């Protein structure tokens, strides 16, 4: 029944794409391609991987606010944590900035009640086939870095975004990390940090 509904959606999209402007046609076709993969089972391996991950994380207890603050690094690569201490923003998320606001890092504990809200968006990023938007001023990428699958977004300066680079990834199969960098691309953002800076989170992952 679920596959029938997805197939129906594909047909609707195929029909609607006839009237889509050329600038949007490529992205619409990528959406249709993704739905077709879901219907035909090409996404089954990815679906199974994330289903198992969610099952495991749902059995774990969320870290306390005190543990999140303790695990948050005081340095990120060569950059010191800004004078304002990291803060808890809700839903077991801790956030702070480094190098006078050059890099912002947000970490969400994806365990327990947070598992759906954290892992489903990552799964959607994994399945996403759109590589750019708005005349290529925003670009998306997927790349394995140091054994970690990362999802990147590069934005041109004229998009007027606060941060031009963004990386999202799951650290130690539990912690949803969002990095944002000013005046750099995603490769420079990754090179500015060290995965070992997050090791205290790994120690708390029991």
pLDDT per residue as tens digits for the range 156-172: 988 889 999 999 999 99
pLDDT tens per residue across span 24-38: 555 555 445 544 455
Q: Which residue carries 């800004």 as its tokens? A: 82
Which residue stretches of the chain have pLDDT < 70? 1-41
pLDDT of residue 63: 97
What DSSP string runs through 184-203? --HHHHHHTS-GGGGHHHHH
Between CA 72 and CA 64 the distance in angstroms is: 13
pLDDT of residue 15: 44
pLDDT of residue 8: 47
pLDDT of residue 25: 57
pLDDT of residue 18: 47
pLDDT of residue 158: 86
Angle (CA) 140 143 144, round 5°: 155
pLDDT of residue 40: 47
Q: Which of 161, 181, 178, 160 is nearest to 102 (CA)?
A: 181
On whether the pTM is more than 0.85, the answer is no
């Amino acid at each position: 029944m679920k596959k029938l509904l997805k197939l129906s959606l594909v047909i609707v999209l195929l029909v609607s794409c006839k009237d889509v402007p050329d600038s949007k046609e490529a992205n619409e076709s990528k959406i249709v391609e993704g739905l077709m993969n879901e219907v035909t089972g090409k996404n089954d391996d990815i679906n199974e991987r994330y289903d198992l991950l969610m099952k495991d994380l749902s059995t774990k207890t969320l870290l306390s606010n005190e543990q999140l603050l303790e695990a948050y690094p005081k340095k990120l690569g060569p950059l010191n944590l800004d004078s304002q201490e990291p803060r808890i923003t809700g839903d077991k998320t801790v956030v702070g900035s480094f190098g006078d606001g050059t890099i912002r890092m947000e970490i969400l504990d994806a365990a327990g009640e947070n598992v759906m809200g954290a892992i489903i968006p990552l799964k959607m990023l994994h399945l996403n086939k759109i590589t750019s938007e708005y005349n290529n001023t925003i670009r998306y990428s997927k790349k394995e870095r140091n054994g970690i699958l990362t999802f990147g977004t590069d934005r041109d300066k004229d998009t007027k975004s606060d941060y031009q680079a963004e990386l999202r990834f799951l650290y130690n199969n539990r912690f949803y990390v969002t990095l944002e960098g000013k005046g750099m691309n995603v490769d420079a953002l990754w090179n500015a940090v060290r995965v070992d800076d997050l090791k205290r989170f790994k120690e708390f992952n029991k």
